[in-house]
Structure 1
Amino acid sequence: MIEIGKYNDLRIAAKNSDGLSLSDGEREILLPYSDVPKNAELGDNIKVFVFINKDGNTIATTKQALAETDDFAYLTVVDASEDGAYLDLGIGKDIYVPVREQKRAMHKGESYVVYVYLDENNQRMLASSRLDKFIEEDDFDFDEGDEVSLLISEQTDLGFNAIINNRYIGLLYHNELFANLKPGEKRKGWIKKVRIEGKIDLSLQPLGYSHILDTKDVLLKELRENGGVIALGDKSTPEEIYERFQISKSAFKKATGGLYKERIIAISDREIKLVVDHLAD
Structure 2
Amino acid sequence: MIRIGEYNTLEILRETSVGIFLGDESGNDVLLPNKYVPKEFEIGQSITVFCYLDHEERPVATTLKPKVTKDEFALLKVVEVNNIGAFLDWGLEKHLFAPFREQARKMEEGKWYLVYVYEDTETGRLVASSKTNQFVSNEHIELAFNDQVQLIVSRFTELGVEVIINNKNKGLIYNDELFENLKLGSIHQGYIKKVREDQKIDVSLQPQGYKAIEPASQKVLDELRANNGYLALGDKSDPELIKATLNLSKKSFKKAIGSLYKEKLITIEENGIRLQ
Determine if the alignment matches structure 1 residue 108 to structure 2 residue 109: yes
1:248 matched to which residue of 2? 249
Local SS of the residue matching 2:137? coil
C-alpha change, 1:266 and 1:54, in structure 2 (3 Å) is same
| More divergent stretch after superposition (105-114 vs 60-69) | 105-114
SS in 2 for 1:85: strand
Give the corresponding residue for 1:9: 9
Unaligned runs of 5+ in 1: 276-281
Offset at residue 189 of structure 1 (A): 0.6
2:47 counterpart letter in structure 1: I
* Correspondence 1:207-218 to 2 at 5 A: 207-218=208-219
Aligned-partner SS, 1:139 = coil
Change (3 A) 1:236 1:21: farther
**2:11 and 2:46 in contact (8 A); partners too:** yes
In structure 1, the residue matched to 2:183 is: 182
In the TM superposition, what is the alpha-carbon distance from 1:262 to its structure 2 partner? 4.6
Distance in 1 separating the partners of 2:132 and 2:125? 19
CA shift at 1:236, angstroms?
A: 5.9
Identical columns (%): 42
3-state SS in 2 of match to 1:216: helix
Partner of 2:202: 201
CA separation in 2, counterparts of 1:111 and 1:135? 20
Runs of 4+ in 1 over 4 A off after TM superposition: 235-246, 268-271
Over 3 Å counting, the alpha-carbon distance change for 1:14 and 1:76 in structure 2 is same
Q: After superposition, where does 1:73-112 map in structure 2 within 5 Å?
A: 73-112=74-113
CA contact (8 A) 1:236 1:269 kept: no
Give the stretch that moved more between structures: 83-92 or 1-10: 83-92
CA distance in 1, matches of 2:55, 2:245: 50
Q: Does structure 2 retain, via aligned residues, the 8 Å contact 1:50–1:61?
A: yes
User: 1:143 — aligned with what?
Assistant: 144
Gaps of 5+ in 2: none
| Distance verdict in 2 for CA 1:269–1:62, change over 3 Å | farther
Cα shift at 1:197: 1.9
SS of 2:256's partner is helix
The structural deviation recorded for 1:209 is 1.8
Question: CA 1:244/1:43 → structure 2, altered by over 3 Å: closer, same or farther?
Answer: farther
Assess, with a 3 A threshold, how the Cα gap between structure 1 residues 273 and 63 changes in structure 2: closer, same or farther. same
Paired residues in the alignment total 274
C-alpha displacement of 1:148:
0.4
Q: Residue type of the partner of 2:12?
A: I
Deviation (angstroms), 1:253: 1.9
- CA change 1:155–1:22 in 2 (3 A) is same
Query: CA offset at residue 122 of structure 1?
Result: 1.1
Distance 2:271 2:118 in 1: 52
| TM-score, normalised via structure 1 length | 0.89
- Quick check: 1:179–1:239 contact (8 Å CA) kept in 2? no
2:261 alignment partner, SS class: helix
- Alpha-carbon distance in structure 2 between the residues aligned to 1:208 and 1:136: 27
- Equivalent residue, structure 1, for 2:18: 18
Query: Contact conserved, 1:232 with 1:241, CA < 8 A, in 2?
Result: no
Farther-moved stretch of structure 1 (202-211 vs 238-247) = 238-247
RMSD: 2.2
Q: Deviations over 1:125-162 (max 9, x none)?
A: 10111111111323323212111010101112221111
* Cα deviation code 1:42-82 (max 9, x no counterpart): 11111100000111211000001111111111111111235
Shift in CA distance, 175/214, structure 1 to aligned 2, threshold 3 Å = closer
Give the counterpart letter for 2:14 in structure 1.
A
Farther-moved stretch of structure 1 (105-114 vs 115-124)? 105-114
**Relative to structure 1, is the Cα distance of residues 183 and 268 closer, same or farther in structure 2, using a 3 angstrom cutoff?**
farther
Say which SS state the counterpart of residue 187 (structure 1) adopts.
strand
CA distance in 1, matches of 2:240, 2:22: 54
Q: Aligned equivalents of 1:33 and 1:269: distance in 2? A: 72
Q: Secondary structure at the match of 1:161?
A: strand
TM norm structure 2: 0.90
Q: Taking structure 1 as reference, are residues 227 and 85 closer, same or farther at Cα in structure 2, changes over 3 Å only? A: closer
1:23-49 CA distance string (max 9 Å, x none): 003111100111112322211111100
